[in-house]
Chain A
């Protein structure tokens, strides 16, 4: 299967700071990348869809000004959690898809964010 990497794997930050998480598609150029969030004992929830070269599409209830997504190249998407608060502590996971219409998403290993 395809390889998707995320960096960092775990980050602890102070409340009010911003954190950037990188997602890289190592095996193929991903026209679309996705960002998910998973709270403890809950399912993965899609936050936003990121298309290379265009603005991200956010799901209902996700603040686009708080969760900045940049997809500057076909192999890299970044998620920046701005002015992080303890309630943003969660497991953030990205996935990539080769082309629209295909069903398989390849997931990264995830990033655990803890905001103190």
Chain B
């Protein structure tokens, strides 16, 4: 039962343009959402997060948007850089302090120089 879904396995974007990575979830009990970035042969690294009480969180070039009614979140990267090329995972948590993070299957972003 895939509760967090990333329907696009890959995305290619020109350097300098905006990258938009999408994530959908099914469980309305999720209250916290995270994005992780993963390079080959490395573990996922935390990128940015958002609480369900907010609809937007921004950190430099990275902005995460949350649409609770649609159970949808997205990660925007502006401007995209070649070093952003990686696999991006969306994750969700059900309650404060809970152990279990539910991950999506990831989207491979390629930023073309």
Contacts and interface: CB of A to CB of B under 8 A. Distances in A.
Contacts of B89: 43-44
Nearest to A3: B43
Interface stretch (A14-22, A62-70, A74-82, A100-108): A100-108
A43 B3 CA distance: 10
Interface string B15-58: 00000000000000000101010000111111001000000000
A54 interface: no
**Chain B, interface residues (CB within 8 Å), range:** 20 to 34
**Chain A, interface residues (CB within 8 Å), range:** 20 to 34
A107 B45 contact: yes
- The binding surface of chain A is classed by DSSP as loop
B45 A100 contact: no
Nearest to B97: A101
A83 B6 CA distance: 34
Nearest to B51: A103
Contacts of A42: 105
Interface in B90-104: 93, 96-97, 99-104
A61 B111 CA distance: 39
B106 A43 contact: yes
B100 A59 contact: yes
Interface of A: 1, 4, 6, 9, 32, 34, 41-46, 49, 57, 59, 93, 95, 100-101, 103-110
10 contacts: A9-B41, A34-B99, A43-B2, A43-B89, A44-B89, A57-B99, A93-B43, A95-B43, A101-B96, A101-B97
Interface of B: 2, 4, 9, 32, 34, 36, 41-46, 49, 89, 93, 96-97, 99-106
